[in-house]
């Protein structure tokens, strides 16, 4: 049915070995025969059978990506970065996303076994035991945004700490006497790091003020509730720094209901720079994370691990964030045109 290496060999009057060599760029073949074989292969539309090749080379040229139940921009951007880098390296991308719990993730991980040369794993469910149980020893893997730190695996994290630290500092520098933090879920790694960044910046740059954290869970609703509670406090209000943009949007709604003007009565900042952040009124000051870079770096990292199997594992990299100042923090007045 399909054209195989044999057909090309027959047509070119050489052995299959020569065809293989010619097409794979082995030096042990005359330029002239290489040309001839190449042109015949092209004419016949020969495409090497990837399964047969994988069988013998033990390489699939494929990277697996294991992702949790992820929504919106973050997911797209991450995949974009991974995909771009994979294409540049001639690798394919096998995706398995939308994993709600550890069991689903485990099943997905096992299902990928043997189909991929390496893995990119972003999941709140991973820990040492999970990986030992579900990931073959020999498969290189890069953990994304994971609290889990092991000499076995490379880890690539967002600098949540640094971003929150920088934002807190920015708010204090802008003249606010104090900053209140709206926290994320307690068991969330990102949330923990962001809170730590906030606390340390407060300790350093506002030693007289006291750090104050109100609870939240990253949802818009929890931000709304937090905002409503904060609006009752004594004036002047401290600046509010929400652990993510969705909660900041919730705060914004609560403040609007309480007839509080942002940023005149209360300054507000978020974290993530989701697209909505540019379009709420006033536009939200936030911390931007270059998700595309996260994906790209992750893929390059696992590709490197595949190429050099003996290489030391366990490198931990951190991806910098940047403060994006918009109208909501009062740092800059640009209410009309989105950035």
Partner DNA sequence: CGGCGGAATGTAAACGTTTTCATCCGGGTT
Partner DNA sequence: AACCCGGATGAAAACGTTTACATTCCGCCG
Q: Which residues bind its own copies (CB under 8 A)?
A: 1-2, 47-52, 54-55, 60, 62, 70-73, 75-76, 79-80, 83-84, 87, 92-98, 108, 110-115, 136, 138, 220, 249, 253, 256-257, 275-276, 279-281, 336-338
57 touches DNA by CB under 7 A: yes
CB of 177 to its own copies, least distance (A): 30
Identify which of residues 72 and 175 has a Cβ nearer to its own copies in the complex.
72
Identify which of residues 108 and 287 has a Cβ nearer to its own copies in the complex.
108
CB of 92 to DNA, least distance (A): 16
Identify which of residues 96 and 178 has a Cβ nearer to its own copies in the complex.
96
15 touches DNA by CB under 7 A: yes
Choose among its own copies, DNA, none what residue 264 binds, the Cβ cut-off being 5 to 8 Å by kind.
Answer: none
29 touches DNA by CB under 7 A: yes
Choose among its own copies, DNA, none what residue 315 binds, the Cβ cut-off being 5 to 8 Å by kind.
Answer: none
Choose among DNA, its own copies, none what residue 79 binds, the Cβ cut-off being 5 to 8 Å by kind.
Answer: its own copies
User: 3-class secondary structure for the chain?
Assistant: CCCCHHHHHHHHCCCHHHHHHHHCCCCCCCHHHHHHHHHHHHHHCCCCCHHHHHHHHCCCCEEEEEEECCCHHHHHHHHHHHHHHHHHCCCEEEEEEEECCHHHHHHHHHHHCCCCCEEEECCCCCCHHHHHHHCCCCCCEEEECCCCCCCCCEEEEECHHHHHHHHHHHHHHCCCCCEEEECCCCCCHHHHHHHHHHHHHHHHHCCCCCCEEECCCCCHHHHHHHHHHHHCCCCCCCEEEECCHHHHHHHHHHHHHCCCCCCCCCCEECCECCCHHHHCCCCCEEEEECHHHHHHHHHHHHHHHHHCCCCCCCCEEEECEEEECCHHHCCCCCCCCCC
Among 52, 88, 177, 215, binds DNA (CB under 7 A): 52
Size of residue set near DNA by CB under 7 A? 29
> Which residues here bind DNA, judged by CB under 7 A?
1-2, 4-6, 13-18, 20-21, 23-24, 27-30, 33, 46-49, 52-53, 55-57
């Amino acid at each position: 049915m399909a054209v195989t290496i044999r057909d090309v060999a027959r047509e070119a009057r050489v052995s299959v070995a020569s065809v293989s060599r010619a097409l794979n760029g082995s030096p042990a073949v005359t330029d002239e025969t290489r040309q001839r074989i190449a042109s015949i292969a092209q004419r016949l539309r020969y495409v090497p059978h990837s399964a047969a090749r994988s069988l013998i080379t033990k390489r699939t040229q494929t990277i697996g990506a294991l992702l949790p139940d992820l929504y919106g921009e973050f997911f797209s951007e991450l995949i974009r970065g991974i995909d771009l880098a994979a294409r540049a390296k001639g690798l394919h991308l096998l995706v398995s996303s939308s994993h709600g719990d550890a069991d689903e993730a485990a099943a997905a991980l096992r299902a990928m076994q043997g189909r991929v040369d390496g893995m990119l794993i972003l999941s709140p469910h991973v820990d040492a035991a999970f990986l030992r149980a579900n990931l073959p020893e020999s498969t290189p893997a890069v953990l994304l945004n994971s609290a889990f730190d092991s000499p076995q695996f490379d880890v690539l994290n967002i600098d949540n700490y640094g971003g929150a630290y920088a934002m807190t500092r920015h708010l204090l520098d802008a003249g606010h006497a104090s900053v209140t933090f709206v926290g994320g879920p307690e068991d969330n790694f990102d949330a923990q790091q962001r809170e730590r960044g906030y606390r340390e910046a407060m300790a350093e740059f506002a030693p007289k003020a006291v750090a104050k954290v109100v609870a939240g869970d990253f949802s818009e609703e929890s931000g709304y509730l937090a905002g409503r509670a904060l609006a009752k406090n004594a004036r002047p209000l401290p600046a509010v720094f929400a652990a993510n943009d969705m909660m900041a949007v919730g705060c914004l709604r609560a403040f609007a209901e309480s007839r509080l003007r942002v940023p005149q009565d209360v300054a507000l900042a978020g974290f993530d720079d989701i697209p909505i952040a540019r379009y709420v009124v006033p536009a939200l000051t936030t911390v931007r994370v270059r998700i595309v870079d996260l994906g790209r770096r992750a893929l390059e990292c696992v590709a490197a691990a595949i190429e050099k199997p003996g290489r030391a594992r366990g490198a931990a990299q951190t991806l910098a964030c940047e403060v994006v100042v918009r109208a909501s923090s009062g740092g800059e007045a640009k209410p009309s045109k989105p950035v």
